[in-house]
Amino acid sequence: MDVSGSARAVVLVMHRRGGTMHIRAACKNDIEGIAKVHVDSWQETYKGIIPDQFLESLTYESREKGWKELVADPSQDILVVENNEGKIVGFVSGAIQEDKRPLVGELKAIYLLKKDCGKGIGRQFVRVLFSRLKAKGCETIYVEVLAENDACRFYEKLNAKWHATTSIAIAGKLLRLYVYKWESADLKI
């Protein structure tokens, strides 16, 4: 992944009512946009699931710091989607767990602004990410998702199979976490 700051190599162009969307690899110039989508989408998606106090404490600046490290890390596969004005409206990130054999991938995050959901962007994001992970030899991909998150249905529509249930504590609240997986045959989305 070119993280030089000026990478604009488009991976996929999507024509939708209301404009064109471009999916491409993230670069350092995207960090501010990724952080904004991350915070805004968390506040939209997790309202009523994660304590409000925690969601209200999220800042663009704190997320920018984390994304600066991730975008610079060559082991991370991060894609963004831009609208026709060049504004980032979503991102997806994934990586391969190098210590596992056969190679196992993880869909680490996928977030879109609520107004851009339901347009097929998420499906295309997953398709492109899986293609990239498969090209690196990945045969299985996992994703962890809060049980109360509507994204569970999204993953199930994309052939993900429930694998396990675990939990995570966020802001002092214990939340159920579902682990879904795709095997090599299921990666054809």
Question: How far is residue 135's CA from residue 138's CA, in Å, rounded to a whole number?
Answer: 7
Residue 134 lies in a domain: yes
CA distance readout (Å), 183 to 33, 53, 75 = 32, 38, 21
Residue 153 lies in a domain: no
Residue 103 lies in a domain: yes
Residue 121 lies in a domain: yes
Question: How far is residue 110's CA from residue 38's CA, in Å, rounded to a whole number?
Answer: 9
Structural domain total, the chain: 1
Helix ranges, 112-164 (H): 121-135, 151-157
pLDDT recorded at residue 141: 95
- Encode pLDDT of 59-107 as tens digits: 999 999 999 999 999 999 999 999 888 999 999 999 998 777 778 999 9
- Encode pLDDT of 15-37 as tens digits: 666 678 889 999 999 999 999 99
The answer to whether 141 touches 160, Cβ cutoff 8 Å, is no
Tokens 């996928």 correspond to what residue? 110
- Model pTM score: 0.88
Question: How far is residue 17's CA from residue 26's CA, in Å, rounded to a whole number?
Answer: 24
CATH code of residue 24: 3.40.630.30
